[in-house]
Amino acid sequence: MTHFAAVVLFALFASVVFGITQRETPRRMVRYGAYCFVLFVASAIVLSWLMFLIAR
């Protein structure tokens, strides 16, 4: 398993739990879960590039 696949799966599982527990209606649960997922993955990509550039 690649590091990126691990990040994506981590983001998926955590986002599902966050979505269900932090919102009340199904529609808002899905939207909040998707929002968390995008934030997880996007921040991982941005931080990875930052670390790559710092290490050069």
Partner 1 sequence: MATQENKNAAAEGGFVYLPLIAGWLVPGAGHFLLRKWGRGALLAASILGMFAMGLAMHGKLYTNAHDILDILGLAGDLGNGLLFVVSRIFGLGADQVQVTTGDYGTRFIVVAGLLNVIAAVDAHNLRTGRKS
Closest approach, Cβ 10 to partner 1, in A, equals: 7
Site for partner 1 in 8-37 (CB under 8 A): 9-10, 12-14, 16-18, 20-21, 24
User: Residue 34 gets which letter from DSSP?
Assistant: H
Q: How far is it, in rounded angstroms, from Cα 32 to Cα 36?
A: 6
The rounded distance, in Å, linking the Cα atoms of 29 and 21 is: 8
Kindly state whether residue 39 participates in binding partner 1, applying the rule CB under 8 A: no
**Least Cβ distance, residue 5 to partner 1 (angstroms):** 10
Query: Is 46 a binder of partner 1 (CB under 8 A)?
Result: no
